[in-house]
Chain A
Amino acid sequence: MSAASPVIERGTAASRIAAIAVALIIALLAIAPQFLSAGAVDRMTALFIYVILAAMWNALAGFGGLVSVGQQVFFGLGAYFSIRLADAGLNPFVALFVSAIVVGAVSWPISLFMLRLRNGEFAIGMWVIAALTHLLVNLDRLVQGETGTSLISLNVYDASTRRVAIYWLALASMTALLAVLFGLLRGSTGAAIRAIRDNEDAAASVGVRVTGTKRLLFVLAAFGIGIAGALWLATSITFQPKTYFSVQWTAYMIFMVLVGGIGTFEGAILGALLFFLIETWFGGAGVWYLIGLGATALAFSLLLPRGLWGTLEERFGLRLLPVGYSVRIPVNATLTTGETASPAQTTTSREKA
């Protein structure tokens, strides 16, 4: 009888290989600056920032069910607070991280307010917050309106030290944020998060603390995007409010997550990688590049709403970084129900994440 009972498992053979591969990739990335040209190091830093953005937007939308088109507010604030803190005399590298903590702290009162909105109202409500914050930052004398300012204190480090330091900071931030998110999704909070994603009312009815869990995701996403904004400032030095508070950042996040696979941990990373490649190849195409991005996002939301990873995962039962559980029905059990037997066949009750 025990042979026929379903087996519940987390890891798969593929996921164990993936875990080793991830460790190897991170180790390789850590020593990569030794071999890469200066331009390549800068590009890789951008990639890490994209991964952070995608993962954080995915945490909010894919897991928390909160689609925001105003996440650029945290990106801009991450950069702005870095400028402010560095201006107050803090070491610029330290300022980047203190700034992200401040962004996280600021996001908490915002969440009290905004999380009571639902769906589209939340989405545009966040956009209003972003627009308002942009205008308020412009009023700061230090920023000089749209003229902007620079993170001048970073110039005391010579260019190559600075480049590699920012690269490592970006790599470390990305790894840490992904690890936190992964840990969160695998733990008991993760179960709550997926319950909310699938059906908020049902989740609440079985005792999931819906608002508290959403708030956690909201603050985490704000913090992560704040780091991303601060790191972006570190790589580009100049701060122009218009560039940082631009809705295009959210457009990029949406593109990455929609294409990669909304609500899947691996999908956001895949989406960031694809976005990075597309930007590298077609970024020079200017306005047609943006049209292409919008059209691709539109097409994915209509035709492939689960994104590339979500579709692959569904079709092949492929899970490299499993945050959920899967139920495996052994061979003889499936035979009795008349299905085609395959030892690794998983049932449809398998969790999506």
Chain B
Amino acid sequence: MTNQIVQGILLGGYYALIACGLSFMFSVMRIINLAHGSLAVLSAFALWLLASRFHISPFLGLLIVLPLMAAIGWALQRFLLERSARGGALLPILTTFGLAIVIDNLLFEQFGADTRSLAPFIGSLSYDSWEWPGSIYVGKLAVIIFVTAVGLLGGLQLFLTRTGLGRAIRATSADPDTAGLVGIDARRANAVAASIAMVTVGLAGAFLGMRATFDPYAGAPQLLFAFEAAVIGGAGSLWGTLIGGIVLALAQTLGAQVHPQGFLIGGHVAFLIALFIRLSTSGLGLRGLLRLPAGKAS
């Protein structure tokens, strides 16, 4: 049992990693990017292509893919989100949903229906493990993912509170007009935020590929995991995302114990319970729910 809890917590690190980009974008731009999961899968495929075609290790491949993801984030904000956000709160949902369909099917067209994994390209790391007291075996990769998630969340928190650019992003998310009055370029702040979010998505995609398999249509479940972790983690800080990810993973682990097909059901039910508690305890509804860093840091 202890073993499963430990594994669940480590899996939670992955969920936190994929959720943090989603909640970051939501908190800054008030947009939920429905192409979030598809973009993570895109990054995984890019790394797979580099590894299988050009024999570049996925870790080195990140040096190429992450800047690309940052560029995609910038372009996404400039050409799609900025434009569609002007048409109201509903249009970005439709725009990003359309984008997700395009990405998924382009990947399918290019790579076919086969499931892939980055595991063959990272040597023994995919199955190496450490033995902890109590004969608990923890995968080295799972620990690396968890540590990366913690580092990334901490780094983002520091970036938002300690740097000028971070403060500019927070100011823009709080009130773009007033931020503009004091000389902050809201467009630039948003584009930078989108780039950062996409870098985290790229990283999440890399770990998705290393720890499991993926196929062109794997984006949708990743989006749901990210959303669930972000909502369960709820208001507060970026650290809430980590807690949300861990709760989600533990609920899935528990679900799998109850029923062989209960893994995903457990996660969805945990999400609904968290939502129900939040809705019944706060009269404010969900508006402030996903406001992670900005709400906390202000």
B290 in the interface (beta carbon within 8 A) = yes
Question: How distant is B201 from chain A, measured CB to nearest CB, in Å?
Answer: 16
A287 to B104, CA, bound (A): 10
Q: A65-B90, A116-B279, A247-B220 in contact; A294/B32 too (CB < 8 A)?
A: no
A251 in the interface (beta carbon within 8 A) = yes
Q: Kindly supply a per-residue 1/0 record for chain B positions 105-133, scoring 1 wherever the CB is within 8 Å of any chain A CB and 0 otherwise.
A: 11011000000000000000000000000
Flag if B106 contacts A291 (CB, 8 Å). Answer: yes
Please tell me which stretch of A16-24, A133-141, A223-231 contacts chain B, meaning at least 4 of its Cβ atoms lie within 8 angstroms of it: A133-141
Flag if B106 contacts A69 (CB, 8 Å). Answer: no
Please tell me which stretch of A97-105, A117-125, A180-188 contacts chain B, meaning at least 4 of its Cβ atoms lie within 8 angstroms of it: A117-125
Question: How distant is B55 from chain A, measured CB to nearest CB, in Å?
Answer: 29
B215 in the interface (beta carbon within 8 A) = no
Q: A116-B279, A120-B32, A127-B224 in contact; A69/B84 too (CB < 8 A)?
A: no
Flag if B102 contacts A295 (CB, 8 Å). Answer: yes
Q: Kindly supply a per-residue 1/0 record for chain A positions 270-298, scoring 1 wherever the CB is within 8 Å of any chain B CB and 0 otherwise.
A: 00000000000000000110110111111
Q: Which of A69, A123, A251, A298 has the most CB of B within 10 A?
A: A298
Q: A298-B95, A301-B91 in contact; A131/B101 too (CB < 8 A)?
A: no
A316 in the interface (beta carbon within 8 A) = no
Selected from A136, A251, A302, the residue in CB contact (under 8 A) with B95 is: A302
Flag if B264 contacts A131 (CB, 8 Å). Answer: yes
Identify whether the interface residues of A are mostly helix, strand, loop, or mixed: helix
Q: Kindly supply a per-residue 1/0 record for chain A positions 288-317, scoring 1 wherever the CB is within 8 Å of any chain B CB and 0 otherwise.
A: 101101111110011001000000000000
Q: A67-B94, A120-B26, A132-B265 in contact; A287/B286 too (CB < 8 A)?
A: no
A128 in the interface (beta carbon within 8 A) = yes
A254 in the interface (beta carbon within 8 A) = yes
Identify whether the interface residues of B are mostly helix, strand, loop, or mixed: helix
Question: How distant is B137 from chain A, measured CB to nearest CB, in Å?
Answer: 29
Flag if A139 contacts B286 (CB, 8 Å). Answer: no
Contacts of A83 in B (CB 8 A): none
Contacts of B93 in A (CB 8 A): 67, 69, 119-120, 123
A: contact size bracket: 35 or more
A113 in the interface (beta carbon within 8 A) = yes
Question: How distant is B167 from chain A, measured CB to nearest CB, in Å?
Answer: 25
A258 in the interface (beta carbon within 8 A) = yes
Question: How distant is A194 from chain B, measured CB to nearest CB, in Å?
Answer: 15
A residues 65-79 in Cβ contact with B at 8 Å? 65, 67, 69
Contacts of A302 in B (CB 8 A): 80, 83-84, 95
Question: How distant is A23 from chain B, measured CB to nearest CB, in Å?
Answer: 34
Question: How distant is B235 from chain A, measured CB to nearest CB, in Å?
Answer: 13
Flag if A135 contacts B279 (CB, 8 Å). Answer: no
B residues 195-225 in Cβ contact with A at 8 Å? 220-221, 223-224
A290 to B32, CA, bound (A): 23
Q: How many residues of B contact A (CB 8 A)?
A: 48
Contacts of A293 in B (CB 8 A): 101
Contacts of B95 in A (CB 8 A): 298, 301-302
CB-CB nearest in chain B for A305: B87
Q: A118-B286, A123-B34, A298-B95 in contact; A290/B101 too (CB < 8 A)?
A: yes
Q: A119-B89, A247-B220, A254-B94 in contact; A138/B261 too (CB < 8 A)?
A: yes
Flag if B109 contacts A287 (CB, 8 Å). Answer: yes
A288 to B106, CA, bound (A): 8
Q: A124-B227, A301-B84 in contact; A294/B101 too (CB < 8 A)?
A: yes
CB-CB nearest in chain B for A294: B101
A329 in the interface (beta carbon within 8 A) = no
Flag if A128 contacts B99 (CB, 8 Å). Answer: no
Flag if A118 contacts B285 (CB, 8 Å). Answer: yes
Contacts of A69 in B (CB 8 A): 34, 93, 97
B31 in the interface (beta carbon within 8 A) = yes
A65 to B26, CA, bound (A): 19
CB-CB nearest in chain A for B36: A124
Question: How distant is A176 from chain B, measured CB to nearest CB, in Å?
Answer: 28
Q: A124-B32, A125-B275 in contact; A131/B91 too (CB < 8 A)?
A: no
Contacts of B31 in A (CB 8 A): 120
Q: Kindly supply a per-residue 1/0 record for chain B positions 31-51, scoring 1 wherever the CB is within 8 Å of any chain A CB and 0 otherwise.
A: 110100000000000000000
Flag if A61 contacts B97 (CB, 8 Å). Answer: no
CB-CB nearest in chain A for B289: A121
Contacts of B285 in A (CB 8 A): 116-118
Contacts of B259 in A (CB 8 A): 139
Q: A290-B105, A295-B102, A297-B97 in contact; A135/B224 too (CB < 8 A)?
A: no
B276 in the interface (beta carbon within 8 A) = yes
B146 in the interface (beta carbon within 8 A) = no
Q: Kindly supply a per-residue 1/0 record for chain A positions 248-281, scoring 1 wherever the CB is within 8 Å of any chain B CB and 0 otherwise.
A: 0001001000100000000000000000000000
Q: A119-B89, A302-B84 in contact; A291/B109 too (CB < 8 A)?
A: yes
B53 in the interface (beta carbon within 8 A) = no
Q: Using A128-B227, A290-B101, A297-B101 as known contacts, list a sample of 10 further A-B pairs with CB atoms less than 8 Å apart, ordered by residue number in A.
A: A117-B286, A119-B89, A124-B223, A127-B220, A127-B224, A132-B269, A287-B105, A294-B99, A295-B102, A302-B80
Interface CB pairs A-B, < 8 A, 22: A113-B272, A116-B285, A117-B286, A120-B32, A124-B34, A128-B227, A128-B268, A132-B272, A135-B264, A247-B220, A287-B109, A288-B105, A291-B105, A294-B101, A294-B105, A297-B94, A297-B97, A297-B101, A298-B80, A298-B98, A301-B98, A302-B95
